[in-house]
């Protein structure tokens, strides 16, 4: 094994890697928009073709259909798998990633076209660049580097790539369960690179929060009404809904739904110590966001509230008047979208019951004739790993060899819905090995991946494959 040779190869092919990322970012694979479903299907095909070009053994799994909130049925994108090597004397790793993206439009405030990868000062701007197209490509390029140099892959490498992660990984849990004794039968370790560092220091991620995503619909009169003609005489759905949303959380971020905070696991001394060791500059975090103040002052409080306590966010209201101008309407039906990031020991079915019961009780107190319907549309569980697992020891070694530093051990506030499914169904160890930067702007305007992280990240992955092959050998 010659890491320097791999590093040199990766350095000298970086322009090709950027061009491939440009091609991938150009595909508007937005999984939340039914009108973009063909683009998403095309993205899955491009992924499959890439694996075929590399002479991988590929497969494409049909995972059925998706029913949209309006009742429309559309096909789910296939899940693509690929295998490189099947030497029973070697360990087998399975790399999970996704090639769907969050929505992005120029009008949202992007400085460059979101689907036209644009390099400015070493940063590659484009929707999905960091989440999760560059990390998936970095894994592909790491395998390609071994192949090009005629170096034996130190482990068998499998890929499982999906196209619905951003909307909760629809259909993937079932596929993983069905493939437990087939695709996953020889898998020893699972690797996910769908998150970012916390600072400029490389990191290994040992936990993610789950997500329970709710729609709360309030329906009133049969159509929108003139607020001058009808205002004062009708119960307005929007007023009911805003009143209801105001009962969810107080101004200091305390969730008011009974049972939520009570379920949260106690902070252990061991965990508290992990937080102390982490490099994190509160002032820099605040400035990067561009806010005048944060809810907490200390590093430990901020990190723990991002990672190990639940949070509730209100995302939007469908049916509300939101255009420019001053339309004087009373909307007849409005639907609020909010989600609760959940943590150990919370559980989606319990959260669903707690939220539904609470909102129905609060609504009943309003004595309104309008109708409330609460639906949980995503119930993704949190995930937590044991940092003493050999996968993490291998991760530290690989980071040392590529970056020359000890990585931070961090958690991710976002959700990777299948992480817990992989753990529960396969019983195998999982590591999250991020290469995204702390300021990549995932899901936001001007998402980017730095060229440095993309290229050094590819080297990290190449090194990591070797380190995993050394597990149980010393
Ligand atoms: C962390 C990952 N890159 C990500 O962005 N995941 C999404 C998944 C999700 C959860 N609910 C709906 N989608 C996220 O955390 O928002
Ligand atoms: Zn992602
Ligand atoms: Zn995402």
Any ligand 1 atom below 6 A from CB of 377? no
How many percent of the chain have pLDDT more than 70? 100
In tens, the pLDDT along 240-269 reads 999 999 999 999 999 999 999 999 999 999
Separation of 195 CA from ligand 2 center, angstroms? 7
Ligand 1 pocket test, pick from 32, 162, 166, 198 with the greatest ligand atom count within 8 Å of Cβ, gives 166
In tens, the pLDDT along 357-371 reads 999 999 999 999 999
Q: Are 354 and 261 in contact (CB under 8 A)?
A: no
Any ligand 1 atom below 6 A from CB of 211? yes
In tens, the pLDDT along 97-135 reads 999 999 999 999 999 999 999 999 999 999 999 999 999
Any ligand 1 atom below 6 A from CB of 168? yes
Catalytic residues: 100, 165
Residue 30's DSSP bridge partners are 101
Separation of 166 CA from ligand 3 center, angstroms? 5
Q: Kindly report whether the global pTM for this prediction surpasses the value 0.90.
A: yes
Report the distance separating Cα 296 and Cα 305, nearest Å.
Answer: 9
Separation of 130 CA from ligand 3 center, angstroms? 9
Q: Please indicate if the annotation marks 424 as binding a ligand.
A: no
Q: What is the pLDDT of residue 273?
A: 87
Q: What is the pLDDT of residue 270?
A: 87
- 3 state SS for the chain: CCHHHHHHHHHHCHHHHHHHHHHHHCCCCECCCHHHHHHHHHHHHHHHHHHHHCCCEEEEECCCEEECCCCCEEECCCEEEEEECCCCCCCEEEEEEECCECCCCHHHCCCCCCCCCEEECCEEECCCHHHHHHHHHHHHHHHHHHHHCCCCCCCEEEEEEECCHHHCCCCHHHHHHHCCCCCCCCCCEEEECCCECCCCCCEEEEEECEEEEEEEEEECCCCCEEHHHHCCCCCCHHHHHHHHHCCCECCCCCECCCCCHHHCCCCCHHHHHHHHHCCCCHHHHHHHHCCCCCCCCCHHHHHHHHHCCCEEEEEEEECCCCCCCCCCEECCEEEEEEEEEECCCCCHHHHHHHHHHHHHHHHHCCCCCCEEEEEEEEEECCEECCCCCHHHHHHHHHHHHHHCCCCEEEEECCCCCCHHHHHHHHCCEEEECCCECCCCCCCCCCCEEEHHHHHHHHHHHHHHHHHHHCCCCC
In tens, the pLDDT along 262-311 reads 999 999 998 888 898 898 999 999 999 999 999 999 999 999 999 999 99
Any ligand 1 atom below 6 A from CB of 415? yes
Average pLDDT on 348-354 reads: 98
Average pLDDT on 330-335 reads: 98
Average pLDDT on 387-408 reads: 97
Any ligand 1 atom below 6 A from CB of 213? yes
Which atom in ligand 1 lies closest to the alpha carbon of residue 132? Answer: 3
Q: How far is CA 146 from each of CA 134, 227, 473, rounded to the nearest angstrom? A: 18, 68, 21
Q: What is the pLDDT of residue 395?
A: 98
In tens, the pLDDT along 31-88 reads 999 999 999 999 999 999 999 999 999 999 999 999 987 899 999 999 999 999 999 9
Q: Which two tokens mark 137?
A: 């490509």
In tens, the pLDDT along 167-223 reads 989 999 999 999 999 999 999 999 999 999 999 999 999 999 999 999 999 999 999
Q: What is the pLDDT of residue 70?
A: 83
Average pLDDT on 20-28 reads: 98
Rounded (10°) CA dihedral 178, 57, 459, 390: 40
Q: Please indicate if the annotation marks 194 as binding a ligand.
A: yes
Which atom in ligand 1 lies closest to the alpha carbon of residue 131? Answer: 3
Give yes or no for residue 474 having a pLDDT over 70.
Answer: no
């Amino acid at each position: 094994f010659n890491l320097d040779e791999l590093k040199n190869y990766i350095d000298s092919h970086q322009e090709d890697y950027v061009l491939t990322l440009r091609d991938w970012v150009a595909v508007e694979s937005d999984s939340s928009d039914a009108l973009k479903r063909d683009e998403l299907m095309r993205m899955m095909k491009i992924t499959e073709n890439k694996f075929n070009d590399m002479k991988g053994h590929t497969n494409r799994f049909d995972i059925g259909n998706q029913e949209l909130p309006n009742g429309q049925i559309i096909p789910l994108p296939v899940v693509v798998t690929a295998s490189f090597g099947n030497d029973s004397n070697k360990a087998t790793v399975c790399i999970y990633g996704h090639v769907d993206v969050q929505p992005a439009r120029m009008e949202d405030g992007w400085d460059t076209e979101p689907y036209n990868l644009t390099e400015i000062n070493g940063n590659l701007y484009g929707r999905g660049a960091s989440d999760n197209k560059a990390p998936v490509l970095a894994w592909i390029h790491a395998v390609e580097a071994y192949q090009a140099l005629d170096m034996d892959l130190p482990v068998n490498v499998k890929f499982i790539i999906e196209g619905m992660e951003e909307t909760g990984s629809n259909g993937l849990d079932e596929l993983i369960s069905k493939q437990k004794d087939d695709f996953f039968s020889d898998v020893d370790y699972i690797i996910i690179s769908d998150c970012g560092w916390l600072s400029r220091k490389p990191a290994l991620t040992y936990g993610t929060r789950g997500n329970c995503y709710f729609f709360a619909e309030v329906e009133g009169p049969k159509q929108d009404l003139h607020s001058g003609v009808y205002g004062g005489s009708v119960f307005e759905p929007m007023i009911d809904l805003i009143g209801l949303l105001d009962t969810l959380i107080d101004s200091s971020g305390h969730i008011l739904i009974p049972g939520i905070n009570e379920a949260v696991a106690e902070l252990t001394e061991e965990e508290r110590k992990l937080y102390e060791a982490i490099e994190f500059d509160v002032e820099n975090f605040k400035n990067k966001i561009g806010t005048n103040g944060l809810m907490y002052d200390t590093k430990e409080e901020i990190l723990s509230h991002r990672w190990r306590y639940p949070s509730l966010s209100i995302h939007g209201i469908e049916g509300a008047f939101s255009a420019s101008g001053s339309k004087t309407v009373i909307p007849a039906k409005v639907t609020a979208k909010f989600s609760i990031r959940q943590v150990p020991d919370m559980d989606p079915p319990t959260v669903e019951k707690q939220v539904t019961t609470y909102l129905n009780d609060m609504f009943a107190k309003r004595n309104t004739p309008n109708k409330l319907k609460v639906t949980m549309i995503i119930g993704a569980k949190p995930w937590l790993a044991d940092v003493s697992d050999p996968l993490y020891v291998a991760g530290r070694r690989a980071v040392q060899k590529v970056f020359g530093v000890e990585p931070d051990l961090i958690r991710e506030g976002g959700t990777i819905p299948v992480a817990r499914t992989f753990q529960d169904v396969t019983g195998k160890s999982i590591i999250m090995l991020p290469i995204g930067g702390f300021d990549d702007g995932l899901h936001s305007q001007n998402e980017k991946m730095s060229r440095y992280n993309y290229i050094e990240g590819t080297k990290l992955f190449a090194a990591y494959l070797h380190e995993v092959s050394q597990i149980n050998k010393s």
